[in-house]
């Protein structure tokens, strides 16, 4: 699931393609027509589907459609790779302990949509990214993998985001592997 540029989605596709992660990306769902993630899917030959959140009467109805889309292609895990929407119990319960999120902070610090800005405003010297299982409380699920990123004195939102994205690309495939191992979908020897 992606809403924006899709760099985490592409990192996951490449990890599957080069054998780093013994898995396959079966479907990308985007909520913004023509977003970068959709364009990357087309370029990479990955099936994609648009479920525009603006066309659904509620978050629950969107999440029911998301769950159905993933169930239709029989996925084992769902990754929220830059999905800029809060999900509901409809999706979480359809994929219990099988729904992963990547978040641009060292959780539990700086939850929510503006984590990078929060870190800069707080004046901390270290932030990072977290891959975690999704629960109904935003950015609260069990942590799978984290990576630290130092904050430089002259960092802007853009420069810090670029370094955080670099680490996200590294940890997303690892988080998928760990989640799959926890569920018995992969053995430790397969990862």
Which residue numbers are catalytic?
103
Note the pTM of the prediction, 2 decimals: 0.94
Q: For each of the chain's 191 residues, which pLDDT tens digit applies?
A: 999 999 999 999 999 999 999 999 999 999 999 999 999 999 999 999 999 999 999 999 999 999 999 999 999 999 999 999 999 999 999 999 999 999 999 999 999 999 999 999 999 999 999 999 999 999 999 999 999 999 999 999 999 999 999 999 999 999 999 999 999 998 766 65
User: What CATH number labels 7-190?
Assistant: 3.40.50.170
Judge if the upstream peptide bond of residue 32 is cis by omega within 30 degrees of 0: no
Distance CA 156, CA 179 (A): 33
């Amino acid at each position: 699931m992606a809403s924006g540029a899709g760099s985490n989605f592409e990192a996951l596709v490449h990890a599957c393609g080069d054998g780093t992660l013994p898995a396959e990306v079966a479907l990308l769902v985007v909520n913004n027509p023509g977003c970068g993630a959709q364009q990357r899917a087309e370029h990479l030959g990955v099936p994609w589907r648009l479920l525009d959140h603006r066309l659904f009467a509620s978050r629950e109805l969107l999440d029911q459609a998301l769950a159905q889309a993933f169930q239709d292609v029989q996925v084992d895990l769902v990754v929220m790779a830059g999905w800029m929407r809060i999900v509901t119990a409809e999706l979480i319960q359809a994929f219990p302990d099988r729904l992963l999120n990547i978040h641009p902070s060292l959780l539990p610090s700086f939850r929510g949509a503006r984590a990078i800005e929060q870190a800069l405003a707080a004046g901390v010297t270290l932030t990072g990214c977290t891959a975690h299982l999704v629960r109904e409380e935003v950015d609260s699920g069990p942590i799978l993998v984290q990576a630290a990123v130092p904050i430089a004195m002259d960092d802007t939102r853009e420069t810090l985001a670029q370094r955080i994205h670099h680490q996200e690309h590294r940890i997303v495939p690892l988080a998928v592997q760990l989640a799959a191992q926890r569920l018995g979908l992969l053995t430790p020897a397969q990862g």
